[in-house]
Amino acid sequence: MNRTLIALLSGLLFGAGLAYSGMSDPARVQAFLDLFGKWDPTLAFVMGGAIVPMAFAWMIKSRLSSPLAAPAFDLPGTAKLDRPLAVGAILFGMGWGIAGLCPGPALADLAIAPVAVLPFVAAMLVGMAAQRFIPVSSK
Amino acid sequence: MIPAFPNAMPVEGFIGGLLIGLAAAIMLLGLGRIAGVSGLAARATGIADTGAPRNVAIAFVLGLPLGAFPIARLLGTVEVSFPASVWPLIIGGLLVGYGTRLGSGCTSGHGVCGLSRLSPRSMVATGMFMTSGFVTVGLLRAGGWL
């Protein structure tokens, strides 16, 4: 099957899952992070649900020499713990808490609430581009 | 419904989560890649010059809104409520964009794909961005912003 179509199918299912799970709602995501307010545990159920098929997928992957529709696996390393990883994760968590949005739900919201989410998506792309020019040393 | 948490959607959350996991499994087993939204978005827009093939990244990123749209329309149950001011969206967006590129991933890549792979790197990243999110929202609440 065509690789572009497989990627589109993956994106479609991912977007459908985000909308169905309630994760496209910034208020609900922020409520998960709001331990001292009206805490909403939904995000934990979403993560739990998502990890089930992926746990099987990693088991199947270990028996494959190559993916079904591409020449080779191209996966990031799992071991390196460095400063960019830590600083990046902390900054991401701050933005996630302030806006109630991470990249997937923000892009999915372009179809649900395009006007409301546009400032976030624009700022996110500016932030991504800025990272290329304002790096953090790995020491 | 969970009595103590009247707003929670455990069933919809779990089913939606299964769909997300299935999507990531198709990316892994079909194309041999991580379904990491931040990385694929940077690649699709040309911000990153390495990573997935351009057509793969663009197709995946377009799929996100195209997949969310029918769910929102057909079910009519998708509620979204955004911050009243634009500033949390702009400040949050800048931090999310910069942070996910620097930290090589977000909730999908490190959270869904990395945790299920038992990747130490992703477990550390997920623990840190979750903790950072809890602390940030806790501070916003303490400061009277929420």
Per-residue pLDDT at A138: 67
pLDDT in tens, B12-48: 999 999 999 999 999 999 999 999 999 999 999 999 9
- Give mean pLDDT, residues A68-78: 96
Helix axes B37-44, B87-102, angle to 10 degrees: 100
- The confidence score (pLDDT) of residue B7 equals 87
B47:A113 CB<8 A: no
Helices (H), B27-53: 37-44
ipTM of the complex: 0.96
CB nearest to B129's CB, from A89, A112, A124: A89
Contact list in A for residue B91 (CB cut-off 8 A) is 95, 98-99, 123
- Write the DSSP assignment of A70-94 as a string of letters: SSS-----S----HHHHHHHHHHHH
Query: Nearest residue on chain A to B127, judged by CA atoms?
Result: A89
